[in-house]
Chain A
Amino acid sequence: DTAVSQTPKYLVTQMGNDKSIKCEQNLGHDTMYWYKQDSKKFLKIMFSYNNKELIINETVPNRFSPKSPDKAHLNLHINSLELGDSAVYFCASSRSRLWADTQYFGPGTRLTVL
Chain B
Amino acid sequence: AQSVTQLGSHVSVSEGALVLLRCNYSSSVPPYLFWYVQYPNQGLQLLLKYTSAATLVKGINGFEAEFKKSETSFHLTKPSAHMSDAAEYFCAVSDVTGANNLFFGTGTRLTVIP
Contact = CB atoms under 8 A, between A and B. Distances in A.
A98 B45 contact: no
B90 A99 contact: no
Contacts of B38: 41
Q: How large is the interface on B (under 10, 10 to 19, 20 to 34, 35 or more residues)?
A: 20 to 34
Contacts of B99: 31, 48, 50, 55-56, 97
Interface in B1-51: 32, 34, 36, 38, 41-46, 49, 51
B85 interface: no
Nearest to A48: B99
B32 to A, nearest CB: 5
A102 B36 CA distance: 10
A97 B44 contact: no
Given A41-B106, A42-B107, A99-B32, A56 B42 contact: no
A106 B43 contact: yes
B100 A97 contact: yes
Interface in A43-79: 43-45, 48, 50, 55-56
B96 interface: yes
Nearest to B103: A45
Interface string B47-71: 0010100000000000000000000
B32 A100 contact: yes
A40 B43 contact: no
A25 interface: no
Contact of A102 (B46, B101, B107): B46
B106 A108 contact: no
Interface string A76-114: 000000000000001010101111111111111000000
Contacts of A21: none
A45 B49 contact: no
Contacts of A96: 100
Contacts of A44: 104
Interface of A: 4, 31, 33, 40-45, 48, 50, 55-56, 90, 92, 94, 96-108
Interface of B: 32, 34, 36, 38, 41-46, 49, 51, 88, 90, 94-96, 98-104, 106-107
